[in-house]
């Protein structure tokens, strides 16, 4: 579509995808350049994961209860 003279914005509208997606494909020299790394993002729960895993292993599977413990600051931050 670029070769036919369509703008990147028009291509995004036509395909129903975001402009950044179109830009990523349009700027790629090879198809391999379009693949993103799926690196895990940091979570607000990361500091509490050991605590949550321990509580889960102890049999506490109630998300409501675990959330309450975190909010009440009974969970140590590691």
Per-residue pLDDT of the chain (78 residues; tens, 9 = 90+): 888 999 999 999 999 999 999 999 898 888 888 887 778 889 888 989 999 999 999 999 999 999 998 888 766 665
Looking at residue 39, what is its pLDDT?
A: 80
Listed residue (53, 43, 51) closest to 69, CA to CA: 51
50-57, Cβ contacts within 8 angstroms, sequence gap of 24 or more: 50/78, 51/75, 51/76, 51/78
Question: What whole-number distance in Å separates Cα of residue 76 and Cα of residue 52?
Answer: 10
Question: What whole-number distance in Å separates Cα of residue 70 and Cα of residue 52?
Answer: 9
Q: Within 13 Å, how many C-alpha atoms sit on residue 77's CB side?
A: 7
């Amino acid at each position: 579509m670029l070769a036919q003279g369509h703008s990147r914005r028009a291509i995004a509208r036509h395909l129903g995808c975001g402009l950044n997606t179109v830009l990523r494909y349009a700027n790629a020299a090879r198809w391999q350049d379009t693949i993103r790394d799926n690196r895990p993002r940091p979570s607000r729960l990361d500091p509490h994961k050991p605590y949550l895993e321990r509580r889960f292993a102890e049999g506490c599977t109630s998300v409501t209860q675990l959330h309450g413990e975190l909010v009440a600051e009974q969970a140590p931050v590691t």
